[in-house]
Amino acid sequence: MRGYISIGSNIDKEIHIPASLRALERQFGTLTISSIYESEAVGFSGDTFHNLIVGFDSDSDVKAVAKQLRDIELDNGRTRNSQKFSARTLDLDLILYGDLIISDGRLQIPRDEIEKYAFVLEPLAEIAPTDIHPVSGISYAELWQQFDKTDLQQHKIE
Q: What CATH number corresponds to the domain at position 128?
A: 3.30.70.560
What is the residue range of 133's domain? 2-149
Residue 23 has pLDDT above 90, yes or no: yes
pLDDT greater at residue 150 or residue 129: 129
Residues 6 or more apart whose CB falls under 8 angstroms from that of 151 comprise: none
- Segment 98-116 shows an average pLDDT of 94
**Cα separation of 47 and 49, whole Å?**
7
pLDDT tier, 148 (very low <50, low <70, confident <90, very high otherwise): very high
Query: How many structural domains comprise the chain?
Result: 1
Other beta carbons within 10 Å of 84: 8
Residue 72 has pLDDT above 60, yes or no: yes
Largest CA distance in the chain: 40
Residue 80 has pLDDT above 60, yes or no: no
141, 143, 118, 62 alpha-carbon torsion, rounded to 10°: -90
pLDDT at 78: 62
Q: What percent of the chain has pLDDT over 70?
A: 92
For residue 61, give the DSSP letter: -
Query: pTM, whole model, 2 decimals?
Result: 0.92
pLDDT, the chain, mean: 91
Residue 125 has pLDDT above 90, yes or no: yes
pLDDT tier, 83 (very low <50, low <70, confident <90, very high otherwise): low
Q: Which helix (H) or strand (E) holds 140?
A: helix 140-146
Cα–chain-centroid distance for residue 142? 19
pLDDT at 42: 73
- Asked, for residue 156, whether it belongs to a domain, the answer is no
**Cα separation of 65 and 87, whole Å?**
24
pLDDT at 31: 98
Residue 27 has pLDDT above 70, yes or no: yes
